[in-house]
């Protein structure tokens, strides 16, 4: 068996997603990890992160792995070393697995070559491409709530164009039989979303969906590109989940958000911790799901 990587939604089908959810649930209930130690991990975050970085590191430590510190600013990347050479270097030193977040879409394609098969790569987010660990923790959170994916109506709202969360989640949820709908600024509902689901005005969407998935607005983009000439307040009133709109949701429907949340932009501040919100449970599930993903990645027969 070749070395395992965890890179994108492409490699996840229903059977595999249920296997990982079951394992993450087992970790949540205290199961012991099954990996052969020692194993060494390095977390290469070239973009800022709180949740993904810390929960991968927590997951690595709970699995008994040794975490090798890596800081892009003090590494030789700052002297011009390429990502490919950095990963080859860590592999030569004996690191078994790297978790990488990078601003370049599909950065992992140039790393996943036949010559570079001694180190596992786990994608912690690539540009506006994929965010597979967020996708898996979102699936776990939805499964905990509804016990299924097929037939669920999922609304994805906000900065679709720039969102790797939207791309990963729509791909897997459609494959698993959910119906996807989109809302938010219509100019961000670009062509690549059309084949996954229709655009629906937010006021109508909130009444229909079982899962309302809000996306972080990249505040730096408001007023900075011609597609987003609105203030935070205007965004909230036009495309955000206000208390009034939340009141129209179905009784059993839930609110999700990958976070970080811009309070009073994507949703009103008091909805972040409301009964329907699964925002902090998503973060908790993320650590257990990352344990399951790392365990699977490392449990390759020929390592």
Binding interface with ligand CP (CB under 6 A): 49-53, 125, 134, 258-260
Q: Let me know: does 243 contact 235? Beta carbons within 8 Å.
A: no
Minimum Å distance from CB 282 to ligand CP? 8
Q: Least CB distance from residue 202 to ligand CP, whole Å?
A: 22
* Range list of β-strands (E), 74-209: 97-102, 120-126, 153-157, 179-183
By C-beta, is 49 or 242 nearer to ligand CP? 49
Q: What are the distances in angstroms from CA 240 to CA 105, 164, 168, 269?
A: 27, 19, 22, 11
Q: How far is the CB of 277 from ligand CP (least distance, A)?
A: 15
CB of 217 to ligand CP, least distance (A): 14
Considering the complex, state which of residue 3 and residue 259 has its C-beta at the smaller distance from ligand CP.
259
- Picking from 182, 251, 249, the residue whose alpha carbon sits closest to that of residue 209 is 249
Q: How far is the CB of 151 from ligand CP (least distance, A)?
A: 27
Q: Which residues pair with 156 in a beta bridge?
A: 182, 213
Q: Which is nearer to ligand CP, 35 or 266 (CB)?
A: 266
- As measured in angstroms, the least distance from the Cβ of 254 to ligand CP is 17
Residue placing its CB nearer to ligand CP in the complex, 170 or 259 = 259
Tell me whether residue 49 or residue 75 sits nearer to ligand CP (CB atom): 49
Report the nearest approach of ligand CP to the CB of residue 167 (Å): 13
Cβ closer to ligand CP: 61 or 148?
Answer: 61
What residues form DSSP beta bridges with 100? 44, 123
Q: Which two tokens stand for residue 55?
A: 């929960």
Between 185 and 258, CB nearer to ligand CP: 258
CA angle 246, 250, 254 (to 5 degrees): 70
- Closest alpha carbon to 107 in 82, 87, 126, 132: 126
Residues 6 or more apart whose Cβ sits within 8 Å of residue 273: 279, 280
203 forms bridges with which residues in the sheet? none
Strands (E), 230-302: 254-256
E-assigned strand segments in the chain: 40-45, 66-68, 97-102, 120-126, 153-157, 179-183, 211-214, 254-256
Question: 214 - beta bridge partners?
Answer: 157
């Amino acid at each position: 068996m070749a070395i395992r990587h965890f890179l994108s939604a492409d490699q996840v089908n229903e059977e595999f997603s249920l296997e990982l959810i079951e394992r993450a649930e087992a970790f949540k209930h205290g199961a012991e990890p099954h990996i052969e130690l020692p194993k060494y991990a390095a977390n290469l975050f070239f973009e800022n992160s709180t949740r993904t970085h810390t929960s991968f590191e927590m997951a690595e430590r709970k699995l008994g792995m040794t975490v090798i510190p890596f800081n892009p600013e003090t590494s030789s990347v700052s002297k011009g070393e390429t990502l490919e050479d950095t990963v080859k270097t860590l592999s030569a030193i004996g690191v078994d697995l790297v978790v990488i977040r990078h601003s370049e879409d599909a950065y992992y394609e140039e790393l996943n070559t036949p010559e570079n098969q001694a180190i596992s790569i786990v994608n912690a987010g690539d540009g506006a491409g994929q965010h597979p660990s967020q996708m898996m923790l979102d699936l776990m959170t939805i499964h905990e709530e509804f016990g299924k994916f097929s037939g669920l109506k999922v609304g994805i709202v906000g900065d679709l164009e720039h969102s790797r969360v939207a791309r990963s989640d729509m791909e897997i949820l459609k494959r698993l039989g959910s119906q996807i709908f989109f809302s938010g600024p219509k100019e961000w509902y670009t062509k690549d979303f059309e084949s996954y689901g229709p655009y629906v005005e937010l006021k109508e969407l909130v009444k229909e969906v079982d899962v309302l998935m809000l996306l972080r607005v990249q505040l730096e983009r408001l007023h900075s590109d011609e597609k987003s000439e609105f203030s935070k307040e205007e965004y909230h009133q036009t495309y955000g989940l206000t208390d009034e709109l939340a009141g129209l949701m179905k009784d059993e429907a839930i609110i999700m958000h990958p976070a970080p949340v811009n309070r009073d932009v994507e949703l009103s501040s008091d909805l972040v911790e409301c009964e329907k919100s699964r925002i902090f449970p998503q973060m908790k599930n993320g650590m257990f799901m990352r344990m399951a993903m790392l365990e699977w990645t490392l449990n390759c027969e020929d390592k």
